[in-house]
Amino acid sequence: MNTVYLAALEIGSHKVRTVVGEPRPDNQAHIMGYGECPSRGVRKGEIVDFDNALSCVRSSLLQAEEASNVTIYQVHLVFSGGHIKSMTNRGTVPVTDPDRIVTQEAVDNAMNNARAVNLPVEREVIHTIGQTFFLDDQQPLLRPIGMEAGRLSVDMLILHAIRNRMRNTIRVAAEADVNVEDSAFSALASAMAVLTADQKEGGVLLIDLGAGTTDYIAYAGKIIALAGALALGGDHVTNDIALGLNLPTAQAERLKISDASCMPDLARRQPPIRIPPEGGFEGRDISHSDLNLITHARMEETLLLIRDELDQRELRRRLSAGVVLVGGGAQMRDVTRLAERIFEVPATIGVPRGLSGLTEKVSLPECSACVGMLRYAIRNMDRSGAGSRFTDMLKTIFRKR
C-alpha cells in the first residue's frame, strides 16, 4: 500500500524550509523528513533574485526528499510578505424563506456577498474567513441557521496581496518541478501548528517574527478577528545594529544572537562585549547598553504597530490567552518580556505541537509556519475544493504534472 505523504514549503527571507509528513488521526502529522537552505534571492518574503531563490528551493526540496526517502511532486506553500493586508467586509441578504427562517442557502448567499470586494487591480484575494453573523443588525452570533430574521449579515475577513509578488513565489516552486497544491498565509499556518482550541476561544495573538516580515493573527471567541503582515523583521534589527555600531552585517547578526536583549534596562552593569577582528574590520569593544537600546527600539516599534492594529478594533482586552511568539525572532533574548510590557498580557514562545516521527528538527518556533501548513493540508484533505481561490487559479497556470 502506498504511503500518503504531504510536503509543505516556506520560501522565507532567512531560510527555505521543506517539511514532509504523513497524516495521522485527529489531523496530527507524522514527520518523515525536513530540509532547509539559507535563503538567497528572497527579501521581505518576496523573490528579488529568481535564480538564487530557485537554487535554494531545489536544495531544500532535495534535502527533504533524501531525509524522508520520497519524491516530492506537490507542495503546500506558505505565503508571507509585507504587502499582505486584511480588511473586513459585511455581506447582507434579505431572508426570503416564507417563515423568515435563516437557511443554509441564505448563509451561503450572505457569505458570497461578503466575499465580493473591489480591490485595486494589482491585488488578489488570498483568504476569505467568515467571522460573525448578525440578524437584523442585532448582537453578533456564530450559528444563525434555524433562527428567525428579516435580514442576515456576515462579516468576512479578507486577506489580499499583490498578485505579481505571489505569482513570482509560485513560479519559483513550479520551476523547481513541484506543483503548488494549496497555499496559506504564514501566521494562519503557524496558528495551526502552535495554538490550542482553548487559546483560540479565550482570545490570543500569535506573532511570527521572521527575518524580513512579521506576520500576525488574532483570535477572539473562536473567530479570527484580525490578521496582517509588516515588512519588518529580524533583518532590520541586524541592520540597525550594523549601522548604529558600525559593524559588518555578519558580525551584527552574530552579536544579535549571542548578546542582544530586547530590554534596554538589563544591560547597565554588564561589561563591554569584545568583537574580534574579521576581514578588514579591526575588532572593537561594544557597549551592552547601546546594543540593547538599538535592539529594543526596533522590536518595540514592530510590536507597537501590531498593538495599534489591535486597539483600533478594541481587541487587546479580549486576549485572555495572551500572546504567543513564533518565528526565529521568538528566540531573541527577553522578547517575551517586551511583548508582555507592550500588550499587558502574558507572552510565551510557541513551538509546533502534536507531532510524531522525526520531530527534533522541526520542534522549533521558526518551523511553526511550515509544520502548520502541513496540518492545514491534512485538515483539507477530505474537503474537496477547500484550497484558496488564489491557488486554484495559479495552479491551472503553472501545473506541470
Q: Which residues bind ligand ATP (CB under 6 A)?
A: 12-15, 39, 45, 80, 210-213, 233-235, 253, 256-257, 327-329, 331-332, 366
- C-beta of 174: minimal distance to Mg ion in Å? 21
- 142 conformational bin, left if phi > 0, alpha if psi -120 to 50, beta if neither: alpha
In whole angstroms, give the CA distance from residue 153 to residue 170.
35
372 binds Mg ion (CB under 5 A): no
What is the closest distance, in whole angstroms, from the C-beta atom of residue 12 to ligand ATP in the complex? Answer: 2
Give which of ligand ATP, Mg ion, none residue 45 binds (C-beta under 5 to 8 Å, depending on kind).
ligand ATP
Taking CB under 5 A as the criterion, the residue among 11, 12, 17, 219 binding Mg ion is: 12
What's the first-to-final CA gap in the chain, in angstroms? 22
Three-state secondary structure call for residue 384: coil
Nearer to ligand ATP, 153 or 213 (CB): 213
> Total number of residues binding Mg ion (CB under 5 A)?
2
CB-based contact 222:200 (threshold 8 Å): yes
CB of 211 to ligand ATP, least distance (A): 4
> Using CB under 5 A, which residues numbered 184 to 243 contact Mg ion?
210
All cell numbers assigned to 158: 479578507
Q: Is 139 helix (H, G, I), strand (E, B) or coil?
A: coil
Centroid of chain to Cα 171: 20
Is the distance from CB of 104 to CB of 36 less than 8 angstroms? no
23 part of the interface to Mg ion, by CB under 5 A: no
Nearer to ligand ATP, 78 or 154 (CB): 78
32, containing H or E segment = strand 28-38
Q: How long is the chain?
A: 401
| Closest to ligand ATP by CB, 23 or 328 | 328
DSSP 8-state code for residue 101: B
Residue number, 320 or 331, with CB nearest to ligand ATP: 331
365 is an interface residue for Mg ion by CB under 5 A: no
**C-beta of 156: minimal distance to ligand ATP in Å?**
26
The interaxial angle of helices 234-244 and 288-312, nearest 10 deg, is: 140
Nearer to ligand ATP, 211 or 355 (CB): 211
- Using CB under 5 A, list all residues that contact Mg ion: 12, 210
